[in-house]
Structures are given as C-alpha cells and as structure tokens.
Structure 1
Amino acid sequence: VLSGAAMKVVFNDEDLKTFLAVACEVSPDHPVVISKFVEGAKEIEVDAVANQGQIVNYAIGEHVENAGVHSGDATLVLPAQKLYVETVRRVKRITRAIAKELNISGPFNLQLLSKDNEVKVIEANVRASRTFPFVSKTLKVDFIELATRVMVGAHVTPAQISLLDVDYVGIKAPMFSFTRLLGADPVLGVEMASTGEVATFGEDKHEAIITSMRAANFKLPERNVFLCMGPMYAKLEFLASARELVQMGLDLYCSEGTYNFYKGHGLPCKLLHKPSSAIQPNVTDALQKGEIDLVINVRDSKADSGSLTDGYLIRRKAVDFSVCLLTDVKLATMVVHALFRRKMRDTPYAIKAWDEFGNF
C-alpha cells in the first residue's frame, strides 16, 4: 500500500461506495487513487547510501507487522531475523537497480513487500528516512556522515558491515498519544498515528522486543489478559500464544467468539461480554475497575458494523483506563512468546549500555 492522506482499505463494493461518498464530500475537486492492497505480505525496509548510482552501504530491516501498517507505526527489527536468503538476494538486486537507474548520490530509503518470496517495491524515497539514526546506532556506522560526504564530493570508503557477525538485535518501537486524542480509534493502519518512537537492543529478538515495548511504556501483564481475536486466522495464529499465557499462570478472559474457540481447544478461559451487551460480566466494567492487565484485540475488517463498534469500544476503553493494548496479531504473538521465554528462563535480562553491544 502506498501511504498518503485520507487512506482507507476496502474489502467489498459497499465499503468502496461509502468511502468514495465521504471522499467526494471532503474534496470533490481532487481525484481518488485506487491501488491493490496485498494481504498477508511481509514489509521490508532498506536504508542505503549510494554514490553515482553505486551502493556504498545498506541495511535491511523487517517489520513485525504485515504490510499495511504505516512504516512509522510499525515495529522494525534489525538485522532482519525471518527473511529467506532468496528474499534478501532479491531485495539487494532491486536496491542496486534503483540506485543505478536513478543515479543516486546520497541517502535513500526503500519500502518493499514480500509474499511467497515475490518482492515488490511499495515506494522509494530519495532522502534520509526516520530509520537512518536507528540503523546507524544499531550497526555502529554513521550513515548520515557517509551520505553527507557523498553529497559534498568528499572521499567515501564503504564501512565493513557483516550482518551475520552482528550478535545482537535492535528493535524500533512506536509510541502513541491516543490518550490525548479523544475518541480516536487506537488501531494500526495505513495512516500514521504514532507521535514518537524508541529503540533498544537485546542479545536476541525476544529480549529486544521486551525492552523496546517497556521503553514505550508497555506494562508486562501479571494477573490476566483479555482476548478479542476477530478473524478466524487471528484466533488460529494466536492459539499457541494463548497456551503460553496459560502456562505463565495468567488468567484468560475472552469475548464470546474467542471464548468459544479457545474453550473448544481445551484452554481454561472466562467469558466477558462485549460492550453492546447488557449481560454481566462485561468487559467494559472490568476495564473501568482496573481488573484487566492487557487487552489483545485484533479487529475483523470484514465483520458487521456491530462487531466493529464493539471492537472500537473495547480498544477505546482500554486506552482511556490506561490498560495496555495490542491490536496486531504478529506483534502480539512475538511479545507473548518473548514473555514466555523470559518466564521459563527465570532470570532477568542483563541491562547493558549501548556500547556494550557488538564487538564485531
């Protein structure tokens, strides 16, 4: 998806008609651009410096969330941990081709998506991106200095970077201000919503995701978790993580559909009814009383309007009552598995200064 203003992902003709009607009311004199949205694709980010079309240095990172979440809101992992070797080869080939074709001298950034090992370019930005400082800190190579030397015509020697020798992982996590945005839906999408970001490092991706989430004010659950997993694929994908939550001694509370699914798979869980229901026990009351530590709510974009309203109310109540919220199943599974590994090893992660990482 190519990011822009007033964007919307639609899944059927009715959604398209509704959105076009709104778009015409907002700006009848400007066209609406329609492009294909690829579901279930991994997003890859490349930051690089080129000199007269030749690559000087590059870095390849991956988003935890699937393509469709704005890059400013996505959780970025560097070096990439889950890319096929052939995918990396194709990304490098595309990066070299673009640098050569545009005869780039200076910094540039590529955002790509990969599905079934087929790589496509989302956009190419011939400028330094927000991830340049993160890349420089992680790889301990000042990409901005390299780009500046190229642009002023000074001599540039490529830094020796071997990603296979980087024995730690850096993760950049977004920070949001939904508590200050009255009524805003705190869900990730194609338009950027974050107002800041943090970056931390760990011996592996599990340690790095925990430290980065904590730096972004994420509180680790100690008593329980409320699950509202809308689409079936999310319920299935999160099944192993739900078992890990139980093994950590956390109580599971679920919305009705999620409750029926996980109960049917032998997991001990308790039912909390949705906000639109007057039946008790209700998730709204539980959130207001501070009885929930973490809400994991993956919305079903193809659900009926009533379900969408309930999902919004759950997410909004979580934010309003300062309950930690995860809305992406990929990020949720990664965080839960990292918490599980941390619990099982029964030893705290070592606290290190930035310069203690990476003796490569």
Structure 2
Amino acid sequence: TFAEKIGYPVLIRPSYVLSGAAMNVAFSSEDLATYLQLASRISKEYPVVISKYYEEAKEIEIDAVAQEGQILCSAISEHVENAGVHSGDSTMVLPAQKLYLKTVTQIENIAQEIAKNLKITGPFNIQFLAKNNHVMVIECNLRASRSFPFVSKVTGVNFIEVATNAILNINQIPNTKYQILDYVGVKAPQFSFSRIKGADPILRVEMTSTGEVGCFGDDIYEAFLKSLLATGVTLPKKSVFVSLAGDENKVDFLDSAQTLKKLGLKIFATDGTSKFLKSKGITSTKLYKIHEHKKPNVLDFLHNKKIDLVINIFDPYFKKEFDDDYLIRRSAIDFGIPLLTNMQTAELFVKAISLKKLSDLKTLPWSQYITP
C-alpha cells in the first residue's frame, strides 16, 4: 500500500473539510483502516488524502499578499508546538525566535515561487514543515488566514488593505515596509473545554479552539505569559502536578522540572514520574492515579484545589494510558485548574515564569509598540 511505501505514521484527511475535521494520524495498518472508514463518512463523494506524517518537525507559516505573482508584503511566524497540532490550536510567535537564516530564506523563496507560478493576486497563507533545515510545504491557502489580523497588528501593516488594493488593481499600494526591533507578538488559542462535558482537552491535528488572543511583550516570555493570562490561565503560586508518559518525555522535561524546584513550587507527580525525578535529585510527592483508589489520590488534590497547575504530557496518539490520563486532564478542566498538555508549551511556560513575575508584565497600548 501507499502507506507502507512511504512509511508510518501517515496523516489521513478527508477532502473539503474545515478545521481538520476527522483528520487523524495512523501508526499502523489497523489505525489506517479505522481512520479511513471514519474519514469516508465525512466526505463520501470525494477522495481521502493520505500523506506522510513527520514527527519532531517545526511548523512555520507565512502570511502574504501578492499582485500578479509578485509578493507585496509578507510575515513569517513560527509555532511554539511541533507540527501535529492544528494551526488554529497552536501558539504563534512573530517575529520568529528560533529559525535559522537558511530556513527563512528557503521559506521566502518557496513562497515567491508559488505566488509566481499560481499568478496569485490577493492574500494567501502557506504552512511549512521544517526539519534538519529542510523545508517542506504542508499546504497553500489562497485566502486570508486566521493569522492575517495578528500579523497586521504586529507588523503595523494592514495586510487586508494591501490585498484589497491589489485585487482592485489600485496603483497606490500602502507602505508595506516594517521593522520589528524591540517587541514580540504572541497569539495564543482560547479553548472552551469547560463548556463541553467530557471533551478531552488535548491538542491534535483536528482543531478544538474557539478563539484566540494576541499580546505584545518586550520578549517572547512576556508576550507569551500575557497571552495565556488573557485566555484565563493563572500562574502557579504553590504547587504543580506533573505526569509524563514515556521515558523520552521525562528526559525532555528534566530541565523544566529542575526550574520548578528552584522556583520553590511543590511538585506532585504520578508514580513513574516521581521515581524518575527522585533519581535526578528532584523531590516530589507521589500521588496515586485515579483508578488506583489509594490515598493520596490526584483527584482529591485537584478537588481540594491543592494543585495550581497540571502538566500532563503524553503522546495523543498512544492509547495505552489514555483512560487514566484522560481522567486527570478532564478533572483539571472540571475543577478550573490550568492544564498544559504539550511539551513545547510547557517548557516555554516554565521558562517564562522563571524569568517574569506578574508585576513584570506591562499593560501598554498598541501604539506604544507600533508606529504605523
């Protein structure tokens, strides 16, 4: 089969759907059969698309406006989360903070080639994968994307005005030059899991967010914290609960765990995570999982608000510990406790709270950052 030829995992996507509806990642022929059947129900008249799914890859976007194939203005943003999280659920940073110059150049050149060959006039958005400095196109959307207002605010260039003039063939194109020197913009997703009973609050290829918030800061850490606070997240004052599935996640989060310890936050953890942290010299209090029916139990601590933040990192496509991890995540949402389920987001959050206090987050008008 095609999937076996290109190698698992593969991405299954129905044709002509919005927000990644019924999109799934298959890691085996059994997964493939299940997800193909599901996708065929969504779009019976049109084919299901199967493509290679790349793990541990960075996702980048370019928003641009072209006229007769020539790009007039553009902005390159990077996602905090690795590829595999729907762009509508991802945390977006502009200007990009962790891109090689070669990667940026490749993106600019590819975008110009696509605009030229498609003879684009108007707004468009291209999503890219980058891995080992190799850039690949995920898709090109010939429309204004949800990030157009964000990049317009951050750059001070009204991308829609430029696009409108280009489409109407108005010769007087607004000034599209901009320079971002001493600030960063972050767009964070807004979720409504608390209003949807039983929904699993995880980030996957199918979009789940219901809105977004854009914030500015002197650096990524200030902008990121402000954007999370604006979505309703509160900063931990006393304690954090950590549950890390798999050895790789435990190793990846080690530096962040050490930072939490230095911040003086009490760390609660599940059995496996607690043992790993102890082996690395980090003290934590073990809490039993919900299904173990022993004390002290994580559910009791969540219910009694003894935990300020839940960090539950696991592979969203790995079902072995799904039931118990789901109960932890869902309980955090039901009890109104901030929840982080993505490794890159959790690492950035821990780094940010180690560098910024609440009093460091400035409240300034847009005009303080941008001079149109």
- The DSSP-based 3-state class of the residue aligned with 1:34 is strand
- State the TM-score, normalizing by the size of structure 1: 0.94
- The DSSP-based 3-state class of the residue aligned with 2:104 is helix
Q: CA RMSD in A?
A: 2.0
- State the TM-score, normalizing by the size of structure 2: 0.91
Distance, in Å, in 1 between the alignment partners of 2:21 and 2:238 is 40
Q: What is the percentage of aligned positions where both structures have the same residue?
A: 49
List per-residue Cα deviations over 1:294-333 (Å, max 9, x = no partner): 001112346453x111111111011011010001000110
The answer for the alignment partner of 1:39 in structure 2 is 55
The answer for the alignment partner of 1:309 in structure 2 is 323
Which of 127, 132, 140 aligns to 1:124? It is 140
Conservation of the 8 A alpha-carbon contact between 1:273 and 1:279 = yes
1:146 equivalent in alignment to 2:162: yes
Q: What does 1:88-167 correspond to in 2, within 5 Å?
A: 88-157=104-173, 159-163=175-179, 165-167=180-182
- The DSSP-based 3-state class of the residue aligned with 1:154 is coil
The change in CA–CA distance for 1:239 and 1:99 in structure 2 (over 3 A counts) is same
The answer for the alignment partner of 2:101 in structure 1 is 85
Distance, in Å, in 2 between the alignment partners of 1:31 and 1:160 is 40
The answer for the alignment partner of 2:277 in structure 1 is 262
Conservation of the 8 A alpha-carbon contact between 2:182 and 2:218 = yes
- The DSSP-based 3-state class of the residue aligned with 2:93 is strand
The answer for the alignment partner of 2:332 in structure 1 is 318
Unpaired runs of 5+ residues, structure 1, are none
1:48 equivalent in alignment to 2:51: no
Distance, in Å, in 1 between the alignment partners of 2:327 and 2:129 is 32
Deviation at 1:284, TM superposition (A): 1.2
Q: Does 230-239 or 43-52 show the bigger shift?
A: 230-239
Distance, in Å, in 2 between the alignment partners of 1:156 and 1:256 is 65
The change in CA–CA distance for 1:105 and 1:315 in structure 2 (over 3 A counts) is same
Q: What does 1:281-320 correspond to in 2, within 5 Å?
A: 281-301=296-316, 303=318, 305=320, 307-320=321-334
Amino acid at match of 1:134: F
Deviation at 1:259, TM superposition (A): 1.0
Amino acid at match of 2:355: R
Deviation at 1:100, TM superposition (A): 0.1
The change in CA–CA distance for 1:147 and 1:316 in structure 2 (over 3 A counts) is same
The answer for the alignment partner of 2:91 in structure 1 is 75
Q: What does 1:241-260 correspond to in 2, within 5 Å?
A: 241-260=256-275
- The DSSP-based 3-state class of the residue aligned with 2:291 is coil
Amino acid at match of 1:310: D
The answer for the alignment partner of 1:215 in structure 2 is 230
The change in CA–CA distance for 1:349 and 1:212 in structure 2 (over 3 A counts) is same
Deviation at 1:20, TM superposition (A): 4.1
Distance, in Å, in 2 between the alignment partners of 1:77 and 1:281 is 40
Conservation of the 8 A alpha-carbon contact between 1:9 and 1:37 = yes
Distance, in Å, in 2 between the alignment partners of 1:25 and 1:138 is 41
